[in-house]
Amino acid sequence: MKLNKKQLATAVLALFTAWGAEAQAPPAAPSAPAESNYFLFPIKPGERNYLSGTMGEIRSNHFHGGLDIKTEQRVGLPVHAAADGYVSRVKQSSYGYGNIIYITHPNGLVTTYAHLLEYYKPLAAYMLQKQYEKQAFDLELFPEPGQFPVKRGEVIGLSGNTGGSGGPHLHFEIRDKQDRLYNPLKYKFSEVIDTTPPDIYSLGISPLNIYARVNNEFSREELRTKQVGSNYSIADTVYAHGLIGLELQTIDRLDGAANKNGTQEVTLVVNGEELYRHYIDQVPFELSRQVSQHINYNQYKMRGRTFQKAFVDYGNDLPLYKTKERDGRLTVQPDSVYKVQLVARDSYNNVSTLSFVVKGQKPTFTQTVAANVKKPALDYEIMGNVLKISATDTNATPQNIELYVGNQALMLVPSYMKNSTSVSLYDLRAGLPDSMRFCGLSTDFKLKRMVPPGKDFMFSNRDMKVQFDKESLYDTLYLQTDLDKGVYTIGDYFTPLHKAMKVTIRPDTAGLDLGKAAVYFLGTGRGRGYTGGKWEGNTITFTTKNMGKFKVLEDTRPPYIRLVSKSRNGISFKVSDDLSGLNSFDAWVDGKWILMKYEHKTATIWSEKLDKSVPLSGEVILKVKDNAGNEATYTGRI
């Protein structure tokens, strides 16, 4: 039935009136496991504790997999085993989890305790012995099941700040034998109090095909929310058409702490029907990188803002979702009204609800004029399968775009004009365009191939060869490449990869020492991240999980070494490298290898003796190498 404007306004008013206190109750959360009291809280059990991070928090390339438990802004708090079991794995590293213990329990689950300052004495002695046997600081060991049994509540180490930790805390996880990460808070620890519902900051709405519109534009819209208690709304009605996707910017806070934590569950309800739900639990460790498809990755990388999609995007295989047809995408019909609720729920069943109305509106040509247009402009962006071209003319009249696809010249008619800018749309599946022209301006797209997901694919030209694994891409990629002044652009920095791509380039090697030269990732052009690569003649091949800009750079400077202290009890140094980064370090005292521990955050290495009763004496030699093979040596005496 088609509604006139008066009938439509009456229907919308009725919807808003029906809300308020009688709004639909949010769906029930999954129930807690039967063994709610199985695990002991690992820090100050039985006392009030505070968290700085929770399960489902969005990190740069993964979901946060457990709890970050505060330790009074200091290191050295006792860490307790959460249940009976045995140490099944232990690892020491300057990166990632730092010093970490894995305990396997009779119920088949595994708890982990990361960023430790120290292991308990029997385990510490075992690790030290193995480090001396293998003459290595970074080490991962798998003790036999009966080798290090532990009892519930037993102190297994001291909390610390090792590895990738950004401050003193304990990172605590619960996994199963398949390395699926469980939400520890579903075990309802009494040490953590949370009566605070999640915050909902913004709503994101995106058109998902060339026919879709949001407020009569082919553009992603962000709408800030207004809050009354735990109920949220947006100021204006959303007008839309066609296939759209909704996104939610939400965080959770716990009582007594200001930290922005992860919201575990988001549900989409439209006209009383649940279309989508995600519940962040049992995340397979090997799929955690697919957080890039769970969120709007472009917005995260560009602006640092985390919008979780309320639909399952292509290539996302995470087992977190319950959806109906179209995987949560909403098809908006003209002259229809949609009552929408996005419900955010935390691990303690605190709920916030964003309610708003979407009206179906058939697209029409609209035109607005800017107050002052100084000169013509031409720009474009790729949104899914759609090339969106924006062209601004000084006379502020709609203008066609000349688009060149192979040997064909196409005239694109604008879909609408906003602020004197004509917006034209083109479906890239019809053929990749070479260039476009408008008012004397021209742009080359540098589009090389349409790369399909789910299959091996290789692209090559005279500048590079790019090989995609069948699991590299989440969705179809419209590959753009370029070479300019030694900088290789491959794809878009704001496009995520799941598995690595393999790249071979043939840079200008005149004057380069190939033994010291490697590929570096520049990101958008400002970084210098060592990527490496293997030379074969004048070509170098590397693998990367990033798209963006790359360049071959030469590192001829050795690492930096500065003695901090030396005595018969120990030695310590500051070590660093200005380009390729540290690769290895080894030290000897009186001709005998000695273990040096490394903390990259402070750029410090220090010794630990195998036999604490034997004083250090004799010649000291420290050798430090970087990733380019440059070596620095310190010599002295104790």
Q: What's the confidence (pLDDT) of residue 595?
A: 98
Are 346 and 252 in contact, with CB atoms under 8 Å apart?
yes
Residue 102 has pLDDT above 90, yes or no: yes
pLDDT band at 17 (very low <50, low <70, confident <90, very high): very low
Distance of alpha carbon 253 from alpha carbon 352, whole angstroms = 12
pLDDT of residue 18: 37
d(CA 9, CA 466): 55
**Cβ neighbours for 603, distance < 8 A, ≥ 6 positions apart:** 574, 575, 576
Q: Kindly indicate the confidence band of residue 525, based on its pLDDT and cuts at 50, 70 and 90.
A: confident
Supply the pLDDT for residue 523.
85
β partners of residue 68:
53, 171
pLDDT tens digits along 350-370 = 999 999 999 999 999 998 888
Query: What average pLDDT score do residues 55-63 get?
Result: 86
Q: Are 439 and 429 in contact (CB under 8 A)?
A: no
| pLDDT for residue 14 is more than 60 | no
pLDDT value at 176 more than 80: yes
Query: How far apart, in whole angstroms, are the C-alpha atoms of residue 175 and residue 283?
Result: 9
* 40 vs 83: CA distance, rounded Å: 6
Question: How far from 59 is each of 247, 292, 318, CA to CA, in Å?
Answer: 17, 9, 16
pLDDT at 375: 86
Burial 154-173 (b: 16+ CB within 10 A, else e): eebbbbbbbbebeebbbbbb
Q: What are phi and psi of 232, to 5 degrees?
A: -125, 155
Within 10 Å of residue 462's Cβ, how many Cβ atoms? 6
Burial status of residue 207 (CB atoms within 10 A of its CB: 0-12, 13-18, 19 or more): buried
Under 8 Å between Cβ of 185 and 222: no
Q: Under a CB-based contact definition with an 8 Å cutoff, are residues 607 and 616 in contact?
A: yes
Q: How confident is the model at residue 103 (pLDDT cuts 50, 70, 90)?
A: very high
* Mean pLDDT, residues 617-628: 97
Determine the pLDDT at residue 40. 96
pLDDT band at 381 (very low <50, low <70, confident <90, very high): very high
Question: What gap in Å lies between CA 615 and CA 534, rounded to an integer?
Answer: 44
Q: So what's the pLDDT on residue 10?
A: 41
pLDDT at 407: 85
Q: From the CB of residue 382, how many other CB atoms can be counted at a distance below 10 Å?
A: 16
Joined together, the tokens standing for residue 386 give 């759609």
pLDDT at 520 over 70: yes
Q: Which of 281, 290, 289 is nearest to 181 (CA)?
A: 281
Write the pLDDT tens digit of every residue in 544-596. 999 999 999 999 999 999 999 999 999 999 999 999 999 999 999 999 999 99
Q: What confidence score (pLDDT) does residue 416 get? A: 94
State pLDDT tens for residues 455-483.
999 999 999 999 999 999 999 999 999 99
- The pTM of the full predicted model, rounded to 2 decimals, is 0.90
pLDDT level of residue 35 (50, 70, 90 thresholds):
low
* pLDDT (0 to 100) of residue 175: 94
Average model confidence (pLDDT) for the chain? 92
pLDDT top residue among 568 and 2: 568
pLDDT exceeds cutoff 90 at 314: yes
Q: Is the pLDDT of residue 1 over 50?
A: no
DSSP secondary structure letters along 312-355: --TT---TTEEE-GGGG-EEEPTT-EEEEEEEEE-TT--EEEEE
For tokens 């297994």, name the residue.
156
Indicate the DSSP class of residue 375.
S
- Please tell me what DSSP assigns to residue 105: -
The DSSP output letter for 316 is -
Tokens of 214: 């949001």
Predicted local distance difference test score (pLDDT) of residue 28 = 54
Task: Give φ, ψ of 291 to 5 degrees.
Answer: -55, -25
Average pLDDT over residues 395-401: 85
Q: Are 260 and 200 in contact (CB under 8 A)?
A: no
Q: What is the pLDDT of residue 22?
A: 37
- Interval 388-417 mean pLDDT: 91
Dist CA 183 CA 168 (whole Å): 21
Query: How far, CA to CA in Å, does 242 sit from each of 206, 237, 360, 440?
Result: 11, 16, 8, 35
Q: Under a CB-based contact definition with an 8 Å cutoff, are residues 354 and 341 in contact?
A: yes
pLDDT digits (tens, 9 = 90+) for 215-239: 999 999 999 999 999 999 999 999 9
Instruction: Indicate if the pLDDT at residue 7 is higher than 60.
Output: no
Say if residues 423 and 414 touch (Cβ distance below 8 Å): yes
Task: Give residues with Cβ within 8 angstroms of 393, minimum separation 6.
Answer: 373, 376, 399, 420, 422, 438, 439
Q: Map residue 53 onto helix, strand or coil.
A: strand
- Please report, to the nearest 10 degrees, the dihedral formed by the alpha carbons of residues 165, 170, 171, 173 taken in order: 170
**Does residue 15 register a pLDDT over 50?**
no
Helix (H, G, I), strand (E, B) or coil at 49: coil
- Please give the DSSP secondary-structure letter assigned to residue 557: P
